Amino acid sequence: MTAKFSSGLLVLIATLAFPALAGAAEDAAVAEIVRKSNRAAYYAGKDGRSEVAMTIVDSQGRTTSRNFAILRLDVEDGGKQKFYVYFHKPADVRNTVFMAWKNVGKDDDRWLYLPALDLVKRIAASDKRSSFVGSNFFYEDVSGRGVEEDDHSLAETTDKHFVLKNVPKRPGDVEFSHYLLWVDRVTYLPMKAEYHDKNGKKYRLVEALEVKEIQGHPTVTRARVDDLNSNGHTISEFIDVRYDLGLDESIFSERYLRRPPREWLK
Amino acid sequence: MRPLLPALRIAVFVCLTLGAGRSFAGEVSPAIPSPEPGNPPSASAAGPRFVLPELHGFLETAGGARTQDDPNQPGAFDLGDFRWQLEAFKTLDGADFKYRGDILYDGALDKFDFDLREAHLAASPLASMDVKIGRQILTWGTGDLIFLNDLFPKDFQSFFIGRDEEYLKAPSDAIKTGFFTDYANLDLVWTPRFNPDRFVNGERLSFYNAILGRMAGDRGGISEIQRDRWAEDSELALRLFKNLGGYELALYGYYGYFKNPAGATSLGQVTFPRLAVYGASARGEFLKGVGNVEVAYYDSLDDRRGTDPLTDNGQLRFLAGYTREIATDLTAGVQYNLERMIDHENYANRLPEGSVRKIQDRQVTTLRLTRLALQQNLRLSLFVFYSPSDADAHLRPSVHYRIDDLWSVAAGSNIFLGEKNLTFFGQLEDNTNVYGRIRYSF
């Protein structure tokens, strides 16, 4: 970690010392931060699993909850991934399974299994910036936003964080004009994201509330999203996180939608 | 006067079931902890030797009524359900046992009923093989509320009176075996005794009875020749399928019987003629949405040349569909379905004098609009079947609201339109209804 950190620092020093070279060097440094941050946040280990307990609080303080197990497998490090999400609670979605094959450069393939109908449904949701299971988290917060979808620049470097400004390449596809991302300089985990709307107003906040080291991977174990427009928020707790379980890729298939792999869902 | 008595019974039953719901939530739930993350169900509640299975389910009250008089039906109510669904799941020595059943007071027919939805054992005897034995819900194919290669039993009565969409699927008593390899996967489903659809038969919903040549609100003295012999009246369904980089491809085969009475004897009894179906489907990402195509060839084995006017002819069926999210939380889906009678000429030539001649091509288009709002707690939905060839339609507007994690309410309507009594939806015109449901899930 120290070695990686130093190289980043060197690039930064070089950037400051030789303004003429700044453009290219800074681009390289920023690209490196973005790459490492993406890996740290979404690609820890070759695979992983977690129980997730979500508490959704609306503007009037009413709470609802979602409990599910999530399995993840990296098909390519930093690239394609597969997700399997099995719902425990609430009762009306119990045993429902959501599966996604995350693609790079094209829409993800997504399925929903509805047990009461034994129905494997294909989801046609191209909008990744809509609520994930009714929470304030977006689908993209869970699966990761493609790093190639934004232009990144280093807005600031603080004691603890690189602050990246991210501007969408296709503004029409998203609801924000830009977002600021606080990346931990040691772990490269994104610790905070602030989304600004097209009028420049900050309207959405995603924060890591707790980080634990699990099998050598710094891991966010508690996160919060605030919707500043509606005053609703969601807190997610990640419980019993484990990496490198040796998950078989076949788990992420129709067979296991219809017959959940219970050994991994406990 | 007549509707009053069932209404009173309904009210009493509501009080009873909701009361039971409260005591169930209050007393039973804490003793059977749901699996909290990282805190598996503990054995301490029932001693170390036997862990009680998890119990879940719901209590539901549903009521519905026709919006116009139907001279063939006794009252206005077509739906008055008080339903207690209970589900239990248990894993023993690598085999999973699942039970899910509904205890039901059916107010519209004034009777108590037990609808066993699932009771099966599931296991994987080999790493590449799954079996499921017993009562189960089975679904495959790519259509949205249109079924070509899915010949598992449907419950059109429930579908048309406003029960939850899950009741469109009736259970099968079957053995399902799945084989999974890197090349392809194979599902084999053997149903040892024929499971017909729960089709519209005059009970609760009136229909055009072709034998009587009029609308009927009961069975009109017509009897079915049952196919209920074990093994002899069995059904076999198979599916060979593969996911090729996100594109789902499948081949299907079915050997059994028409799922609703597609034949008649000269004495006026209705029958379930033999049927074989061969088909294929593909589904996958298409133009920023999901596209699907499916074909099926229905081989009417008892009337292969189509010359028997009392038995339905074979058909070629085609379906194409496309679904896309057209705005955040707004999804639209369209489908086109063609059912072409294969030996239409033979059929037409042998038709008795004065009979109404069916057209060769029945076409049905569908539209589904789904809008989610209020943090996805509110779901507004419209599903439309429209047949340009039959000039009839079925509209299904509905609204579903999750009050919280326990309570939800739904309301909607089943609207049937059509000039003629002879068409599929047109005959149901007098059954147009509105309904409401309230559900407590646990």
The minimal CB distance from B285 to the residues A109, A237, A266 is found for: A109
Compute CA A264 distance to the chain's CA centroid, rounded to the nearest angstrom. Answer: 21
Q: Can you point out the beta strands (E) in B205-314?
A: 207-209, 214-216, 235-244, 247-257, 263-264, 270-271, 274-286, 289-300
Label residue B15 left, alpha or beta by phi (over 0 means left) and psi (-120 to 50 means alpha): alpha
- Cα(A188)–Cα(A207) distance, integer angstroms: 14
The torsion of the CA quartet A100, A101, A104, A106, rounded to 10 degrees, works out to -80
* A24–B contact, CB cutoff 8 A: no
In a domain, B128, yes or no: yes
The pLDDT score that the predictor gives to residue B209 is 85
- pLDDT tens digits, residue range B271-312? 999 999 999 999 999 999 999 999 999 999 999 999 998 899
B311 has a chain A CB within 8 A of its CB: no
CB contact under 8 A, A125 and B331: yes
- The string of DSSP letters for B103-116 reads EEEETTTTEEEEEE
Domain around A189 = 2-264
Query: How much of chain B is in helix, strand and coil states, percent to nearest 5?
Result: 10, 50, 35
Q: Specify the pLDDT at position B403.
A: 96
| CB pair distance less than 8 Å for A103 and B246 | yes
Q: Cβ–Cβ of A51/B241 closer than 8 Å?
A: no
Print the SS3 string covering chain A: CHHHHHHHHHHHHHHHHCHHHHHHHHHHHHHHHHHHHHHHHHCCCCEEEEEEEEEEECCCCCEEEEEEEEEEEECCCCCCEEEEEEEEECHHHCCCEEEEEECCCCCCEEEEEECCCCEEEECCCCCCCCECCCCCCEHHHHHCCCHHHEEEEEEEECCCEEEEEEEECCHHHCCCCEEEEEEECCCCCEEEEEEECCCCCEEEEEEEEEEEEECCEEEEEEEEEEECCCCEEEEEEEEEEEECCCCCHHHCCHHHHHCCCHHHCC
Closest alpha carbon within chain A to B122: A259
Q: In B, residues 327-386, which contact A (CB 8 Å cutoff)? A: 327-329, 331, 333, 375-377
Percent of residues, chain A, with pLDDT higher than 70: 91
Residue numbers in A near B130 (CB within 8 A): 255, 259
What's the total number of domains in chain B? 1
B-chain residues near A62 (CB < 8 A): 404
Q: How many A-B residue pairs are in contact by the CB < 8 A criterion?
A: 122
Which residue among A91, A107, A259 places its CB closest to the CB of B285? A107
Taking the Cβ of residue A131 and every Cβ of chain B, the question of whether any pair is shorter than 8 Å is answered with yes
* Separation CA B161–CA B256 (nearest Å): 28
Residue A73 has pLDDT above 50, yes or no: yes
3-state secondary structure of B363: strand
Q: Give the residue from chain B lying closest to A237, CA to CA.
A: B37
Number of domains in chain A: 1
Comparing CB atoms, the residue among A67, A90, A92 nearest residue B37 is A67
pLDDT (tens digit per residue) in B372-417? 999 999 999 999 999 999 999 999 999 999 999 999 999 999 999 9
The better pLDDT of the pair B370, B1 is held by B370
Predicted pLDDT of residue A22? 59
Please determine, for residue A104, whether its predicted confidence score (pLDDT) is greater than 50: yes
Q: Is residue B77 part of a domain?
A: yes
The answer to whether residue B175 sits within a structural domain is: yes
Could you tell me the end-to-end alpha-carbon distance of chain A, in angstroms, rounded to an integer?
33
Hey, is the C-beta of B246 within 8 angstroms of any chain A C-beta? Answer: yes
This prediction has a pTM of: 0.88
Q: Residues B13-19: what's their mean pLDDT?
A: 36
pLDDT of residue B1: 36
Residue B234 belongs to domain with CATH number: 2.40.160.10
What value does the mean pLDDT take over residues A71-86?
Answer: 95
The pLDDT of B342-356, averaged and rounded, is 87
Q: Does the pLDDT value for residue B30 go beyond 80?
A: no
Whether B41 contacts B51, CB under 8 Å: yes
Q: Which residue of A lies nearest to B101 if distances are taken between CA atoms? A: A116
Do the chains contact at B376 and A107, CB–CB below 8 Å?
no
Q: Using an 8 Å Cβ cutoff, are A66 and A132 in contact?
A: no
Tell me which chain B residues have a C-beta less than 8 angstroms from the C-beta of A241.
Answer: none
* Interval B145-151 mean pLDDT: 98
Residue of A51, A62, A255 lying closest to B37 (CB–CB) = A51
**pLDDT 10s digits, B320-341:** 999 999 998 999 999 999 999 9
Mean pLDDT of A210-233: 97
Mutation target vs A (from B285, B406, B408; most A CBs, 10 A cutoff): B285
Residues of A within 8 A of B180 (CB-CB) are 250, 253, 255
Give the model's pLDDT for residue B7.
Answer: 42
Identify the closest residue of chain B to A253 by CA–CA distance: B243
Please give, rounded to a whole number of angstroms, the shortest distance from the CA of A104 to a CA of chain B: 13
> pLDDT tens digits for A105-129?
888 999 999 999 999 999 987 778 8
Q: What is the mean pLDDT of residues B94-104?
A: 95
Q: What CA dihedral angle connects B350, B356, B359 and B362, to 10 degrees?
A: -130
- Write out the residue range of the structural domain in which residue B75 sits: 4-35+52-441
Task: Give the mean pLDDT of chain B.
Answer: 88
For residue B427, is pLDDT > 70? yes
Q: Are B94 and B130 in contact (CB under 8 A)?
A: no
Instruction: Name residue, tokens 């999210």.
Output: B325
The mean per-residue pLDDT over the stretch B19-33 comes to 35
Cβ-defined contact of A266 to B405 (cutoff 8 Å): no
Whether B9 has a pLDDT exceeding 50, the answer reads no
Q: Which of residues 95-124 of A touch B (CB under 8 A)?
A: 101, 103, 106-107, 109, 114, 116-120, 122-124
pLDDT in tens, A11-65: 555 555 555 555 677 888 999 999 999 999 999 999 999 999 999 999 999 999 9
Q: Residue A259's domain is classified under what CATH number? A: 2.50.20.10
CA count, 13 A, side-chain hemisphere, B215? 20
From chain A, the residues in CB contact with B408 under 8 A are: 92
> pLDDT at residue B41 above 60?
no
Position A218 confidence tier, pLDDT thresholds 50, 70, 90? very high
Is the pLDDT at B43 greater than 70? The verdict is no
* B chain contacts of residue A117, beta-carbon cutoff 8 Å: 137, 139, 165-166, 168-169
Find chain A residues with C-beta within 8 A of B406's C-beta: 90-91
- List the one residue out of B260, B269, B219 whose CA is nearest residue B72: B219
Which alpha helices (DSSP H) does B279-376 contain, by range? 344-350
Q: Which of A72, A76, A96 is nearest to A86 (CA)?
A: A96
Indicate which of B290, B377, B402, B409 best probes the interface with A, i.e. most A CBs within 10 Å of its own CB.
B290
- For residue B187, is it within any domain? yes
pLDDT one-digit tens code per residue, B214-228? 888 876 667 889 999
Beta carbons of B275 and B263 less than 8 angstroms apart: no
Residue A18's pLDDT is 55
pLDDT band (50, 70, 90) for residue B16: very low
- Say yes or no for a CB contact (<8 Å) between A259 and B329: no
Q: Using one digit for the tens of pLDDT, what is the confidence trace for B238-261?
A: 999 999 999 999 999 999 999 999
pLDDT reported for residue B119: 98
Q: How far is B210 from chain A (nearest CA, A)?
A: 32
Give the tokens for residue B112. Answer: 């108590």
Residue A228 CA neighbour count, 13 Å, CB half: 11
**Contact yes or no for B24/B442 (Cβ under 8 A):** yes
Q: What is the mean pLDDT of residues B404-431?
A: 95
The reply to whether B41 falls in a domain is no
Check pLDDT > 90 for residue B356.
no
Residue in B closest to A123 by C-alpha: B290
